[in-house]
Amino acid sequence: MASAKGPGRHKRGKRPPRQGEDGGHQRPALTEDALPPVAWRRHALWGSLLLLLLALLGTAMVLARQFQENQMQHRLEREAEQLVGDIRTGLTRNVQTLQSLNFRQRSPGEWEGPALEVLEQNREMAVLEWRDRQLRVLASRISPFHGEALAQRPRHERRQDVATACAQAKRTSAPAYSPSYFWPQGDGRGQEMMEMCLPKFQHGELEGYLVASYALPGLLSELLEPAAARGLALSLTEVDGTHLAMAGTRPEGAMLSAEHLLELPGHVLMLRIIRPRDQSELTPWSVTGLVVGMSALMLAVLALLARDMRLRLAAERGLAEALAFRQAMENSLVTGLRARDMQGRITYVNPAFCDMVGMTAGQLLGTSTPAPYWPADMVNEYQQRQAIRLAGQTLPREGFESVFVRSDGSRFPVLIIEAPLINAQGIQTGWMSAILDLTEQHQVEAQSRASQEKLQATARLAMLGEMASLLSHEINQPLSAIASYASGTLNLLSQPQADGTQAWQDMTQAMQRIREQAERAGRVTHSVSNFVRRRGQAQGLRREPVSPQALVQAILPLLNLQARKEGIRVVVDLPTDCPDALCDHTMVEQVLLNLARNGMQAMADDHPPAASGLRVLTIRAQPHASQQGKTWLMFSVTDHGIGLSPEVASQLFTPFFTTKPEGTGLGLSLCRTVVEQHGGALVHAPASPCGTVFRFTLPAVSPTAPVQASTA
């Protein structure tokens, strides 16, 4: 220890002079107080860089923190707006519920039960009252969840609030809310209340009011989802900041708050939400790491830029190839293409358009109205059309026909289809037109019209042939009946009769039948002629009210003659309550006669007998179900013959298809056409136990509507 303190120990910062050195010229020591100017400048530079780096880091931290707080504030404001929307939606839903309560009940006794159900389902409501036009209480229900709080004071003390809300509700014919008021309780506490008045109208006249008392704390606890308000302190305040109701726990320390207006008809509240501030902060190390990461990201961006340049070059080569391909395609088109700007100047034409008008692209590009290919006598019309298009009224997408002039002066028709020309920014820069030369098409159309006229002449001849076939088919039945009655008359004349009076009566009846069938033949001829003529002219038949009994009785004598020959029994089922049919009675009689004779022929002796041995033909009429407010009458003709095979059934209504050697194949086709022209339908189905039933419907005369003959 003594040696450490001896005289040989020197002080720190100095050294003993070496032997041989001049003790009078010692070099001064380089201490911190005597640094050279260059060193000072170097340290100052590094210090400045360090201070700049620290300033940048601090600024980044402050900006990041401020950005985070701004984001939190914006998010909180959005949450406040969403919560206000939830409250407003809940109040609107309550108004709809109360409106249904308004219109569902008629007396106070009936009103109280549903009102209690509404209060039990909506805890934010404290009281429901039904008041008349003078605001007198007709019925009242207190919520079981607020009964004790509201029983301390009489309810008439809030009459002024109710009157204020109901006056506005009456004026606006919509629900209105009163300003909030404090409702004290017996233990010194209380709660803020608010009245909602809903007017009740009956046939446009004010009948009364439905008044709902809301507890403002209930608006926060019942109308907001718990998940939406979790972690928030909510409060309803007046616009001036007076607290009215609160929900949740107010956080301690730093906090963020947001406010949003709850605008109700008649009153405005403020919803305020408070959330604790996030205390997490960015550290300098995280900022440094962010800078390093951004530097790495910058290098990656440079690499991506280099890659993007390579891709851009490849895309430019692709675009050049696509442009060459497009030009080659446009040059090969036979459709003319023309582009014009918004002022009507031509900016592009393809070779097909140049060939069409007989001009070069240099002669067309840059030209405006009047265009060199417009006819001189149509310039004004074309200019008006272009002015309409430039004014924003687009032309039809299917195009329009026009006339152009070639350079040699010849005119030719064209079809122009135009569409807006939109650039890459979505802005219209002009119009693109596709132009077709219609010269050949018009020639083809002229030839087609000539061919169509020939076809129409052929169709008229075919219609004449069809009418002749129909006449020969339909006139055969009354002529056969006339022949049968004439034969019967001759038999009566050729045989001596003991009773001359009875013979004379029989011959008289036969001659009457002959006259009826002759008249029927005339009516059939006239009806078939009108039917064919009107069908060609897309017109209907002459309709008049005819009873089902009259339709059946008109053909029953003819059916009985054939039925006696074939040994078939004809059964007629016509209820007395059947309405009249609105139809052309001659044609409908012919339909019934054709169907009945076909049924008897299916049960004739030359066909195999039916399995059940039934030889009964049934004609039935009955009312049909109304369709779209229209009454129908359904007729059915049922035979018990051999039935229809699937092959025959599939072609049954085909014209000229027949299974009879002497048939024309027009009977059923005519029947279906007649029924369809009356608006009905003709169908067939297997009968039980065998045979076939044909059903068709006709429009019936409504028993309450006036009956008039009509031509449809």
| Residues 6 or more apart in contact with residue 252 via CB below 8 angstroms | 276
What is the average pLDDT across 86-99?
87
613 and 667 both lie in a single domain: yes
pLDDT above 70: residue 491: yes
Q: Look up tokens 């036979």; give the residue.
A: 334
452 and 547 both lie in a single domain: no
Average confidence score pLDDT of the chain: 76
> Cα–Cα distance between 610 and 710 in angstroms, integer?
44
559 and 504 both lie in a single domain: no
525 and 423 both lie in a single domain: no
Give a yes or no: residue 18 inside a domain. Answer: no
> Cα–Cα distance between 650 and 657 in angstroms, integer?
11
> Cα–Cα distance between 336 and 352 in angstroms, integer?
5
Cβ neighbour number for residue 480 with a 10 Å cutoff: 14
Give a yes or no: residue 310 inside a domain. Answer: no
Identify the domain boundary among 539, 569, 602.
539
High-pLDDT (> 90) share of the chain, %: 4
> Cα–Cα distance between 181 and 195 in angstroms, integer?
9
pLDDT of residue 466: 56
231 and 104 both lie in a single domain: yes
Distances (CA, A) of 207 to 106, 108, 111, 130, 260: 11, 13, 15, 11, 36
> Cα–Cα distance between 489 and 268 in angstroms, integer?
106
Give a yes or no: residue 3 inside a domain. Answer: no
574-622 pLDDT, tens digit per residue, is 888 888 998 888 788 888 888 888 888 888 754 555 444 568 899 999 8
Give a yes or no: residue 656 inside a domain. Answer: yes
Q: Could you tell me the residue range of the domain that residue 134 belongs to?
A: 74-276
Give a yes or no: residue 418 inside a domain. Answer: yes
500-538 pLDDT, tens digit per residue, is 677 677 777 777 777 777 776 766 666 656 655 554 443
411 and 459 both lie in a single domain: no
**Region for 577 from its dihedrals, namely left if φ exceeds 0, alpha if ψ lies in -120 to 50, beta otherwise:** alpha
pLDDT of residue 146: 74
253 and 214 both lie in a single domain: yes
219 and 169 both lie in a single domain: yes
Give a yes or no: residue 205 inside a domain. Answer: yes
pLDDT of residue 253: 65
CATH classification of the domain holding 235:
3.30.450.20
- The residue with greater pLDDT, 39 or 686, is 686
173-215 pLDDT, tens digit per residue, is 889 998 888 877 766 677 888 889 989 887 778 888 888 888 8
561 and 529 both lie in a single domain: no
CATH classification of the domain holding 530:
1.10.287.130
650 neighbors 631 (Cβ within 8 angstroms): no
Instruction: Count, in order, helices (H) and strands (E) of the chain.
Output: 16, 23
pLDDT of residue 19: 41
591 neighbors 672 (Cβ within 8 angstroms): no
Identify the domain boundary among 390, 409, 437.
437
Identify the domain boundary among 420, 437, 454.
437
Q: In 376-499, which residue ranges form alpha helices assigned H by DSSP?
A: 379-390, 439-474, 476-494
365-402 pLDDT, tens digit per residue, is 888 878 888 888 888 888 887 777 666 655 556 677 88
In this prediction, residue 22 has a pLDDT band, given cuts at 50, 70 and 90, of very low
Helix axes 585-602 and 500-536, enclosed angle (nearest 10): 110
Q: Look up tokens 């109205």; give the residue.
A: 369
In this prediction, residue 628 has a pLDDT band, given cuts at 50, 70 and 90, of low
pLDDT of residue 141: 85
What is the average pLDDT across 404-433?
84
The most confident of the ranges 30-39, 78-87, 301-310, 459-468 is 78-87
CATH classification of the domain holding 660:
3.30.565.10
pLDDT above 90: residue 447: no
In sign, the C-alpha dihedral spanning 24, 26, 31, 37 is positive
DSSP β-bridge partners for residue 140? 129
Q: What is the dihedral of CA 159, 164, 165, 169, to 10 degrees?
A: 130
501 and 470 both lie in a single domain: yes
In this prediction, residue 635 has a pLDDT band, given cuts at 50, 70 and 90, of very high
Query: How many independent structural domains does the chain possess?
Result: 4
Q: Look up tokens 């005119």; give the residue.
A: 411
Identify residue 107 by its one-letter amino acid code: S
pLDDT above 90: residue 694: yes
214 neighbors 223 (Cβ within 8 angstroms): no
**Which strands form 542-546's sheet, in the order they lie side by side?**
581-583, 542-546, 710-711
Give a yes or no: residue 642 inside a domain. Answer: yes
Q: Look up tokens 């044909």; give the residue.
A: 694
Token pair belonging to 582: 């609105």
pLDDT of residue 35: 47
| Residues 6 or more apart in contact with residue 279 via CB below 8 angstroms | 254
112 and 261 both lie in a single domain: yes
pLDDT above 50: residue 557: yes
| Residues 6 or more apart in contact with residue 109 via CB below 8 angstroms | 139
Give a yes or no: residue 4 inside a domain. Answer: no
High-pLDDT (> 70) share of the chain, %: 70
641-677 pLDDT, tens digit per residue, is 888 888 888 878 777 667 776 666 667 877 888 888 8
pLDDT above 70: residue 314: yes
Rg for the chain, CA atoms, rounded:
52
> Cα–Cα distance between 127 and 239 in angstroms, integer?
26
Instruction: Give the pairing type, strands 233-237 and 267-276.
Output: antiparallel
489 neighbors 505 (Cβ within 8 angstroms): no
pLDDT of residue 30: 42
501 and 378 both lie in a single domain: no
